[in-house]
Chains A and B, each alone.
Chain A
Amino acid sequence: MSSPDLRQKLSILADAAKYDASCASSGTSRRGSLDGKGVGSTSPGSGICHAYAPDGRCISLLKILLTNFCIYDCAYCINRVSSNVPRARFKVQEVVDLTLGFYKRNYIEGLFLSSGIIRDADYTMEAIVRVARTLRLDHDFRGYIHLKLIPEASPELVAEAGLYADRVSINIELPRDESLAKLAPEKDSRTIKKAMGSVRLAIENRSEKGRKARAPKFAPAGQSTQLIVGADAASDADILDRSVGLYGSYGLKRVYYSGFSPIPDGSSRLPQAKPPLMREHRLYQADWLLRVYGFERNEIALEDGMLDLDVDPKLAAALRSRGDYPVDVNTADRERLLRVPGLGVRGVDRLIGVRRFKRLTLEDVKRACGALAKARPFIVADGWSPGGLTDSAKLAALLPRDRPRQLELF
C-alpha cells in the first residue's frame, strides 16, 4: 500500500473519529489572545458550531484520530484490529498545522484528538499529549482542546494532558460490564472507572487551592464519556442507571449517547442496521431531565426498562402520574412547573418573572414558552382550566406527536 498523502490521511482519520458523538466546545475558562502571541479564544458559555453536516451534527472541533491503527478488537469499532479499513497515521506536526490552519480560517473552535492504541497505552498517550503541548507551548494556542485519555496510561501523562486540555474524556462505550467484556475484550470497566475517578480528584484538587472563583486549571471543561446505544442488549434502564452512576461518581459534565451505526467493514457479531436515532433522542431527553430539570432516576417512566418512543419522557412521566396535575402556573413552585410537559427551563423562569406583575393567562404561557399544545392539559391559568382533559383516557392521542424520523429528502 502506498502511503497516503495528507488529504487522504485527513479523510481516513476523520472518518475513523466520527463515531464519537461529542463535539462540544463549551464550559471552559474564558481566554483570549490579546495578551498572547498566538491565536485563540474561548467563550465561557455555549460553544460555537462552525458548520453542520447533513447528519444534523454540529462541527465545532477538528475531530480526528492521531492514528487508526489499533491493537484492540472492540467489535463495535470501525478501527478494531480485525477490520480491513485503510489505515493511516498523522505526524504530530501535521495535526498541529491542520489545527492552526483551520483555526485561523475560522473553521473550528479547536481540536478533539483521540487515537487508536498503538504499541501500548503510554506510547499512545504520549503522542496525544505531544500534539497538545506543541499547540499550547510552541504556538501559544488558546482555542479549545479536547483530549481522549487512555485509561491505562501513566498518571504523569494524564496529569500533563489535563494541563493542556479543556476537556478530557474516556469512553466507556457499553453500559453493561458484561457486554464490555464480551465485545471489547481489551477494555476493562474497572480501569476506566479508576481513571475517571482520578480525573475527578485532579479536577477537584486544582479547584480547591484558593482559585475557587476561576475554573480549575486541570481540564476546566471537565470530563465526559460516551455510551453506544443498540450494540448490545442493554435496556434504557441499564443505560440510565449507568449514566446516573457516572454523573454521581465522577462528576461528568456529559454522557453522550451514540446510536450504534453501521460502519465500513462491520463485524459480523453485531447487527448492521440503521442506527436507533429516536431511541438515542429519547435517552438524551431523559438525561436532560436528570441533569437540568432535577428529576430523580425513579421519576423517569419506563415500560419494561425502555423509554416510550412515541412521547417524550417528561410527557410520559406526566401521563403516568396524572394525579399531580393540573399545575397552577400562577402559584406552583419552580420544581412543579418544570415537571409540566412542554415547559422548558427558560420558559418557566420567564413565567415566574412575569407572574410577580400580573396573573398569567394561556396567552402568556404561549408567549413565554413558545408553544402551548403539550402543556395545556396539564396547567391551570387565569381563565383556563383543563377540566376532565387531564384525566381523559384519550389524552395521549390528542397531544402533538414528534414526527417519525425517516430519511429526509432534500
Chain B
Amino acid sequence: MQVIRLASETDFAGWRAAARRLRRAGTPPEAVVWMVTPDEVLMDDGPLPAVPTSTGGHFAVPRDFLELAETVVCHRSPERFARLYRLLWRMASEPNLMKIVTDPEVAGLTDMAKAVSRASHKMKAFVRFRKLEGETPETYAAWFEPPHRVLERTAPFFIERFANMRFSILTPDATLLWDTRAARFGPGARASDAPADDVLEDFWRTYYASTFNPARLKVAAMTREMPRAYWRNLPEASLIPDLIASASARTAQMVEQAATQPSARARKAAAKLSRDGSFDDVPRDLEEVVAGVQICRRCDLWRDATQGVPGEGAVRAALMFVGEQPGDQEDLAGKPFVGPAGVLFNQALEKAGVPRERTYVTNAVKHFKHEPRGKRRIHQTPTAGEVRACRWWLDAERRLVRPRVIVALGATAALAVFGKPMPVAASRGQALPLPDQVQGMVTYHPSYLLRVPDEATKAQAWKAFVADLGMAWKLAG
C-alpha cells in the first residue's frame, strides 16, 4: 500500500507529480491512499509552487483531463484525489475515455467539476464587501463561506475587477489580500475578522425590496439560483421572509384598488390627439411626399417595414430613376439605393458620366417587402396590387419633379412607370413615349447584375446597363 501525502487540500501540483510517478510505476488505484498532511499546510508565501518539471518517462493525457483534475481538486469530497487517479489509470488502456462523457466515472467527476465551477461562479456573485471606515485609500473586506475551496481560482476575477481598490476576502480555508499591486494568500479566517456592517447595506436592502414584484412570487426559482446556504452572508437575505409573507396581500390590494382620478395636469397632457395614419390630400411638394410616405397605409407593407423610403435628389431633375423597392439597408437608412445594389448603381452612373445628385432617384414601392428567414430578412417582390397602391406616391413625384426622362430599373419599376408589364431585355436601350412629352426607358435593375451567375452574361449586362444610363442622360440633357 502506497501512502501519498499532499501539502494542502488543493495541492494539484503535488497530486499531479505523485499520480504521474504512480502510473509510470504501474501502481493500481486500489494500492494508493491519498492524504493531506495538515501540519504542512504552508500558504503564507504566495501562491502554490509551480508544477515541478518531470524527470522523463512522459505519457500524454488530454488537456481536458488536466483541466478537469485541476478543478476537481478544489472539491470538498475526500475521495477526489483517488477518483482522479482511477480515471488517469483507466486512460492508459482507454485513450478516448475523456471523450466518452457518458461514462459513469467521467460523468461523476464532471459533475464534481461542475459543482466547483458553480461555487466559483456563485462566489463572484455573492461576495459582499464591507468598507473599513477611516482607511485611506479605500479598503474593503468580505467574509465568505464557499461550498468548495474556490478562493484561489476565483481570485483573478476580483483582482481584475477591483484592481485599484484595497480589499481582502476572508474564508474559513484561506484569505486573499490585494493591495492594488500584489496578491497575498494567507490561512483561513473567522467571520469576526471582517467588518460587521456597512452604511450602504441599508440602501442595498431598500433596492432589493423595491425591485421585487410581489405579483410574480416564484420562491423556488429564487432558491434554485440563490441557495439558502449562502443567505447568512447576504445582507439582503434577511428581508426575504417578510417579502414573501406580504406578497399576496400586496398583490390583492393592487388588483382590488379602484383606479384613482388622474390629476388635472395629467388630464390636460392626455388630451393630446393620437397620431393618425390616414392621408388623403394630394401632396403639393416633395416635403409632403416625404412626410406622407412615413404615415402611408395604402397597403399593408408599412407593418413590417421600418419606414417609408421616399425619393431623393434634385427637385427639378431632368432625369428620374425608378427602382423596385427599398432593401434591407435602405429600410434602415431611409434613403433609396444605399445598399449593395446602390453601390453598383453609383459605379454605373459614374462610368456613364451621370452625376447622381442632378437626378432624382426613387422606387416604385416605398416600403421594404420582406420575409424573415432565420436571423435575416429576405427580399420579396411586391405584388401588382402593392405597386398600384404605391403609384399614388410615384405619380406625385413625377408630377412635382417633372423630369424629361424616366428610367425604370427592372420589371417592377417598368410596371409602375408604364402601367403595364414590360419585358426588360426586349424593351431596353430605346426611348419609349410616356404621356406629357416625357420619354421613358427600361433597363436592368442593378441587383439583377449582382445576381447573374455567369461572368460573360454579367459583363454584357453591365455594358448594356451603363450604355442605357448614358443614353438616358443624353436624352434628358
Question: With A194-B307, A247-B375, A248-B375 known to touch, is A17 a contact of B211 (CB < 8 Å)?
Answer: yes
Does B255 sit within 8 A of A, measured CB to CB? Answer: yes
- Bitwise, A212-251 to B at CB < 8 A (1) or not (0) is 0000000000000000000000000000000011011111
| Other-chain residue from A18, A48, A407 in contact with B213 (beta carbon distance below 8 A) | A18
Please determine whether A33 and B211 come into contact, CB atoms closer than 8 angstroms. no
CB distance from B291 to the nearest CB of A (A): 12
Interface residues contributed by chain A, number (CB under 8 Å): 101
Please determine whether B215 and A262 come into contact, CB atoms closer than 8 angstroms. yes
Question: With A52-B226, A83-B262 known to touch, is A34 a contact of B245 (CB < 8 Å)?
Answer: no
CB distance from B351 to the nearest CB of A (A): 25
Residue on A nearest B219 in the bound complex, by CB: A408
CB-defined contacts of A32 to chain B, threshold 8 Å: 160-161, 163
CB distance from A185 to the nearest CB of B (A): 4
CB-defined contacts of B164 to chain A, threshold 8 Å: 33, 36-39
Please determine whether A353 and B306 come into contact, CB atoms closer than 8 angstroms. no
Does B377 sit within 8 A of A, measured CB to CB? Answer: yes
Residue on A nearest B156 in the bound complex, by CB: A32
Please determine whether A82 and B99 come into contact, CB atoms closer than 8 angstroms. no
Interface window among B32-40, B46-54, B202-210: B202-210
A128 to B449, CA, bound (A): 47
CB-defined contacts of A247 to chain B, threshold 8 Å: 372, 375
A103 to B162, CA, bound (A): 9
CB-defined contacts of A54 to chain B, threshold 8 Å: 212, 217-219, 222, 240, 243-244, 247
- Bitwise, B181-206 to A at CB < 8 A (1) or not (0) is 00000000000000000101011101
Interface window among A55-63, A164-172, A303-311, A332-340: A55-63
Please determine whether A41 and B160 come into contact, CB atoms closer than 8 angstroms. yes
Does B100 sit within 8 A of A, measured CB to CB? Answer: yes
CB distance from A103 to the nearest CB of B (A): 9
Please determine whether A367 and B107 come into contact, CB atoms closer than 8 angstroms. yes
CB-defined contacts of B306 to chain A, threshold 8 Å: 190, 193-194, 196-197, 249-250
CB-defined contacts of A363 to chain B, threshold 8 Å: 102
Please determine whether A410 and B203 come into contact, CB atoms closer than 8 angstroms. no
User: Which residues of A does B touch, CB under 8 Å?
Assistant: 6-7, 10-12, 14-15, 17-19, 32-34, 36-41, 48-59, 62-63, 71, 73, 81-84, 98, 101-102, 104-107, 177, 181-182, 185-186, 188, 190, 193-194, 196-198, 200-201, 244-245, 247-251, 259, 261-268, 272-275, 277, 291, 294, 296-297, 350, 353-354, 356-358, 360, 363-364, 367-368, 405, 407-410
A163 to B274, CA, bound (A): 33
A374 to B444, CA, bound (A): 55
CB distance from A69 to the nearest CB of B (A): 11
Please determine whether B259 and A265 come into contact, CB atoms closer than 8 angstroms. yes
Q: Which 8 A-B pairs give the minimum distances between C-beta atoms?
A: A56-B221, A82-B262, A56-B218, A197-B332, A32-B160, A14-B210, A268-B259, A53-B212
A50 to B371, CA, bound (A): 40
Please determine whether B200 and A200 come into contact, CB atoms closer than 8 angstroms. no
Please determine whether A18 and B165 come into contact, CB atoms closer than 8 angstroms. no
Please determine whether B275 and A358 come into contact, CB atoms closer than 8 angstroms. no
Question: With A73-B269, A248-B375 known to touch, is A7 a contact of B206 (CB < 8 Å)?
Answer: yes
CB distance from A287 to the nearest CB of B (A): 13
A408 to B214, CA, bound (A): 12
Interface window among B4-12, B73-81, B121-129, B313-321: B121-129
Question: Can you list 6 contacts pairing A with B, beta carbon distance less than 8 Å?
Answer: A10-B210, A11-B206, A53-B212, A56-B220, A105-B204, A267-B259
Please determine whether A367 and B101 come into contact, CB atoms closer than 8 angstroms. yes
CB distance from B388 to the nearest CB of A (A): 23
A402 to B209, CA, bound (A): 29
CB distance from A384 to the nearest CB of B (A): 14
| Other-chain residue from A10, A39, A63 in contact with B206 (beta carbon distance below 8 A) | A10
Does B450 sit within 8 A of A, measured CB to CB? Answer: no
Interface members, chain B 259-273 (any A CB < 8 Å): 259-260, 262-263, 265-267, 269-270, 272-273
| Other-chain residue from B129, B208, B262 in contact with A84 (beta carbon distance below 8 A) | B262
A121 to B96, CA, bound (A): 61
CB-defined contacts of B303 to chain A, threshold 8 Å: 177
CB-defined contacts of A197 to chain B, threshold 8 Å: 306-307, 331-334
A263 to B301, CA, bound (A): 36
Does B457 sit within 8 A of A, measured CB to CB? Answer: no
Other 9 A-B pairs with CB < 8 A, given A81-B269, A275-B215: A11-B206, A39-B165, A48-B125, A82-B263, A101-B203, A105-B198, A190-B307, A201-B329, A296-B373
Question: With A104-B162, A262-B251 known to touch, is A248 a contact of B266 (CB < 8 Å)?
Answer: no
| Other-chain residue from B160, B202, B221, B331 in contact with A52 (beta carbon distance below 8 A) | B221
A364 to B106, CA, bound (A): 12
Please determine whether B372 and A33 come into contact, CB atoms closer than 8 angstroms. no
CB distance from A208 to the nearest CB of B (A): 13
CB-defined contacts of B210 to chain A, threshold 8 Å: 10-12, 14-15, 18
| Other-chain residue from B102, B222, B304, B370 in contact with A53 (beta carbon distance below 8 A) | B222
CB-defined contacts of A82 to chain B, threshold 8 Å: 262-263, 266-267, 270
Please determine whether A48 and B255 come into contact, CB atoms closer than 8 angstroms. no
Interface members, chain B 146-175 (any A CB < 8 Å): 157, 159-165
| Other-chain residue from B102, B266, B375 in contact with A251 (beta carbon distance below 8 A) | B375
CB-defined contacts of B266 to chain A, threshold 8 Å: 73, 81-83
A197 to B305, CA, bound (A): 10
A198 to B259, CA, bound (A): 39
Does B15 sit within 8 A of A, measured CB to CB? Answer: no
CB distance from B320 to the nearest CB of A (A): 26
Please determine whether B254 and A181 come into contact, CB atoms closer than 8 angstroms. no
Does B294 sit within 8 A of A, measured CB to CB? Answer: yes
Please determine whether A263 and B254 come into contact, CB atoms closer than 8 angstroms. yes
CB-defined contacts of B332 to chain A, threshold 8 Å: 197-198, 200-201, 249-250
| Other-chain residue from A39, A57, A84 in contact with B162 (beta carbon distance below 8 A) | A39
Residue on B nearest A176 in the bound complex, by CB: B303
Residue on B nearest A272 in the bound complex, by CB: B255
CB-defined contacts of B203 to chain A, threshold 8 Å: 6-7, 10, 98, 101-102
Question: With A40-B161, A41-B160 known to touch, is A188 a contact of B215 (CB < 8 Å)?
Answer: no
Please determine whether A48 and B121 come into contact, CB atoms closer than 8 angstroms. yes
A49 to B331, CA, bound (A): 37
Please determine whether A364 and B160 come into contact, CB atoms closer than 8 angstroms. no
A84 to B159, CA, bound (A): 46
A19 to B214, CA, bound (A): 12
Does B225 sit within 8 A of A, measured CB to CB? Answer: yes
Residue on A nearest B220 in the bound complex, by CB: A408
| Other-chain residue from A53, A81, A262 in contact with B270 (beta carbon distance below 8 A) | A81
Please determine whether A274 and B331 come into contact, CB atoms closer than 8 angstroms. no
Does B257 sit within 8 A of A, measured CB to CB? Answer: yes
Please determine whether A59 and B101 come into contact, CB atoms closer than 8 angstroms. no
Interface members, chain B 230-258 (any A CB < 8 Å): 234, 236, 240-241, 243-245, 247-248, 251, 254-258
Does B131 sit within 8 A of A, measured CB to CB? Answer: yes
CB distance from A124 to the nearest CB of B (A): 15
CB distance from B238 to the nearest CB of A (A): 12
Residue on B nearest A363 in the bound complex, by CB: B102
A11 to B257, CA, bound (A): 21
Question: With A18-B212, A104-B165, A106-B129 known to touch, is A194 a contact of B334 (CB < 8 Å)?
Answer: yes
Please determine whether A63 and B211 come into contact, CB atoms closer than 8 angstroms. yes
CB-defined contacts of B428 to chain A, threshold 8 Å: none
Does B465 sit within 8 A of A, measured CB to CB? Answer: no
A348 to B238, CA, bound (A): 41
A262 to B121, CA, bound (A): 34
Please determine whether B216 and A367 come into contact, CB atoms closer than 8 angstroms. no
CB-defined contacts of B260 to chain A, threshold 8 Å: 83-84, 265
